[in-house]
């Protein structure tokens, strides 16, 4: 997985600038603190402009939800993928509970707060963009030698047959 915690590269800044939700009395969520641990893509040459949040419960020290969010428009993600599937573009933009990741039963309530409260804060979204830019700065352009050979891209790849199909559809 090419997404790595921002904290690994910038521990001090992450310490100061990680958002935490404090839940006191909520019918849908266990009370406690939930830290939004940011992860960014470390694939050289990639510009996916997304963040993954590991929502870490202070009560159990467990990641209880994994939320994916992209701050650009759906159009941006459609172009980035070279695909016009609006559903896929919307999924990349999110915020969504990342499909395939383990999620607590109350994860949808956390997504709701992240979507309707946390990400409505423009200063916070600006901070995410800054963190992304700082992090990407440490990755640089495409490397000649990949440090991890087994690494799989999170970006869906088309088979040659699908590409041909697509070209036919366009023409
Ligand atoms: Zn990426």
66: CA distance to ligand 1 center in Å?
A: 17
Q: Which tokens sit at 72? A: 């650009």
The secondary structure of residue 128, as a DSSP letter, is H
Q: Residue 124 in contact with residue 36, Cβ under 8 Å?
A: no
Per-residue pLDDT reduced to its tens digit, 17-49:
999 999 999 999 999 999 999 999 999 989 999
Residue 145: DSSP 8-state? S
Centre of ligand 1 from the C-alpha of residue 113, in Å: 25
**Which residues surround the ion ligand 1 when the cut-off is CB under 5 Å?**
41, 43, 46, 48
Decide: 18 and 36 in contact? Cβ < 8 Å: yes
CA of 17 to the centre of ligand 1 (A): 22
Return the structure tokens found at 121: 């804060």
pLDDT above 80: residue 99: yes
Nearest to 77 by CA among 64, 66, 90, 68: 90
Q: Which pLDDT belongs to residue 158?
A: 54
Say how many Å lie between the CA of residue 101 and the centre of ligand 1: 18
Per-residue pLDDT of 61-84, as tens digits, reads: 999 999 999 999 999 999 888 877
CA distance 128 to 147: 26
Cα 154 to ligand 1 centre (Å): 7
Strands (E), the chain: 3-5, 20-23, 32-41, 50-57, 63-70, 96-97
User: Quick one: DSSP state of residue 120?
Assistant: G
Instruction: Report residue 171's pLDDT band, with 50, 70 and 90 as the boundaries.
Output: very low
Q: What distances in angstroms separate CA 51 from CA 3, 27, 29, one per listed residue? A: 8, 28, 23
Compute the distance from residue 136 Cα to the ligand 1 centre, in Å.
9
**Bridge partners for 57 per DSSP:** 34
Distance 47 CA to ligand 1 centre (A): 5
Report CA(24)–ligand 1 centroid distance (Å).
35
């Amino acid at each position: 997985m090419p997404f790595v915690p921002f904290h690994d590269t910038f521990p001090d800044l992450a310490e100061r600038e990680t958002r935490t939700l404090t839940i006191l009395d909520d019918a849908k969520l266990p009370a406690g603190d939930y830290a939004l641990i940011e992860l960014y893509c470390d694939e050289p040459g990639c510009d996916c402009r997304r963040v993954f949040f590991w929502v870490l419960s202070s009560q159990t020290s467990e990641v209880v939800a994994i939320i994916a969010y992209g701050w650009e428009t759906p159009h941006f993600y459609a172009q980035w993928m070279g695909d016009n599937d609006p559903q896929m573009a919307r999924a990349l933009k999110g915020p969504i509970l990342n499909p395939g990741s383990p999620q607590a039963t109350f994860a949808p309530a956390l997504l709701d707060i992240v979507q309707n409260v946390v990400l409505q804060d423009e200063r916070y979204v600006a901070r995410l963009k800054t963190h992304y830019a700082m992090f990407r700065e440490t990755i640089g352009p495409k490397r000649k030698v990949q440090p991890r050979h087994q690494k799989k891209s999170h970006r869906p790849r088309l088979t040659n047959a699908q590409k041909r199909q697509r070209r036919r559809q366009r023409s």
